[in-house]
């Protein structure tokens, strides 16, 4: 799925790195716990989260993720968006809640790769 | 290649800065042409260590030795030390306060995660003196 489709499905606003809209992604993960993202996530390209501190960007960066979607109407501050921009990570903001946002992407074919159990 | 040594001060007073050193190391390894798998393992292990230093020890020093055979990360802090290393190595055990959990960390995955992504992890700790982690990640 292209990030442009993700944006459309989540009715999201793009906050930076719009040039990445053509990027193809194959999986995503949703979490507010960065510890768990670092421990259990593998090769996911999108991080959906309601946590808006700079560590969401750092976590996405360490995991080579392409895009962060801030859910349930959360808005990161300028510094967080700038950090993402510096690292080429697209940032979107969606008003959907985490459960709904993940459900929409999953229902439209963005599955996690492999067996998604820890 | 000649071994490269990088040194960083990890600022313990500003949580928002945690990860700067790991980010810099990740970029250097990429420039040097290391494999994406090694780069990711180094980045995650060092980032977890850096976060731990900020949460528990008010910062410290990070030394990264890069050679053909791999990367050694030495994270030294002057914090309170780890009371029970075996317990701290267990997944889910954490002494982090609630405010740290509100920031998305403190799930008790830090040290286990570092171990998982490294080829060797040495933990030297003394109560009231500090902790030094030596993390080896081979190519």
pLDDT per residue over A20-79, tens digit each? 999 999 999 999 999 889 987 777 799 999 999 999 999 999 999 999 999 999 999 999
**DSSP 3-state assignment of B78?**
coil
Contacts with B, A 8-47, CB within 8 Å: 32-36, 38-39
Nearest by Cα to B67 from B137, B2, B136 = B2
In a domain, A113, yes or no: no
In a domain, A112, yes or no: no
Range of the domain at A103: 3-107
CA A79 to chain CA centroid, Å, is 17
Q: Where are the domains of chain B?
A: 4-138
CATH architecture of the domain B4-138 equals 2-Layer Sandwich (3.30)
Q: Which of B51, B46, B102, B100 lies closest to B79 in space, CA to CA?
A: B51
Question: Within an 8 Å CB–CB cutoff, is residue B18 touching chain A?
Answer: yes
- B104 has pLDDT over 70: yes
- Does residue A66 form part of some domain? yes
Asked if residue A53 belongs to a domain, the reply is yes
Q: Give the CA distances from residue A108 to residues A5, A31, A52, B57, in Å, rounded to whole numbers and listed in that order.
A: 10, 19, 26, 45
pLDDT tens for each residue of B10-59: 998 888 889 999 999 999 999 999 999 999 999 999 999 999 999 999 99
CATH number of the domain that residue A27 is part of: 3.40.1390.20
- Search chain B and give the residue with CA nearest A39: B113
* Residue of B43, B48, B107 with shortest CB distance to A36: B107
Number of C-beta neighbours around residue B99 at 10 A: 10
Question: Does A56 sit within 8 Å of B48, measured CB to CB?
Answer: no
- Number of domains comprising chain A: 1
Distance in Å, alpha carbon of B27 to nearest chain A alpha carbon = 10
* Residue A116 counted as domain residue: no
């Amino acid at each position: 799925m292209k990030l442009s489709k993700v944006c459309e499905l989540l009715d999201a606003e793009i906050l930076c790195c719009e040039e990445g809209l053509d990027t193809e992604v194959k999986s995503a993960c949703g979490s507010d716990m960065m510890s768990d993202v670092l421990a259990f996530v593998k090769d996911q390209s999108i991080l959906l989260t309601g946590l808006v501190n700079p560590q969401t960007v750092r976590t996405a960066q360490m995991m080579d993720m392409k895009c962060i979607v801030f859910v349930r109407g959360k808005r990161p501050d300028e510094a967080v968006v700038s950090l993402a921009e510096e690292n080429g990570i697209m940032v979107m903001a969606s008003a959907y809640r985490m459960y709904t946002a993940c459900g929409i992407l999953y229902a439209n074919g963005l599955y996690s790769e492999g067996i998604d159990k820890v | 290649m000649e071994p490269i040594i990088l040194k960083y001060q990890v600022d313990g007073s500003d949580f928002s800065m945690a990860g700067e050193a790991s980010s810099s190391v990740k970029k250097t390894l990429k420039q040097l042409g290391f494999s994406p798998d090694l780069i990711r393992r180094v980045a995650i292990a060092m980032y977890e260590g850096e976060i731990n230093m900020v949460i528990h020890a008010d910062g410290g020093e990070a030394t990264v030795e890069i050679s053909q055979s791999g990367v050694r990360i030495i994270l030294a802090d002057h914090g309170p030390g780890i009371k029970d290393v075996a317990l701290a190595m267990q997944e889910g055990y954490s002494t982090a306060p609630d405010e740290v959990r509100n920031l998305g960390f403190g799930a008790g995955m830090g040290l286990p995660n570092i171990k998982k992504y490294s080829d060797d992890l040495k933990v030297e700790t003394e109560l009231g003196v500090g902790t030094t982690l030596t993390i080896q990640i081979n190519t």
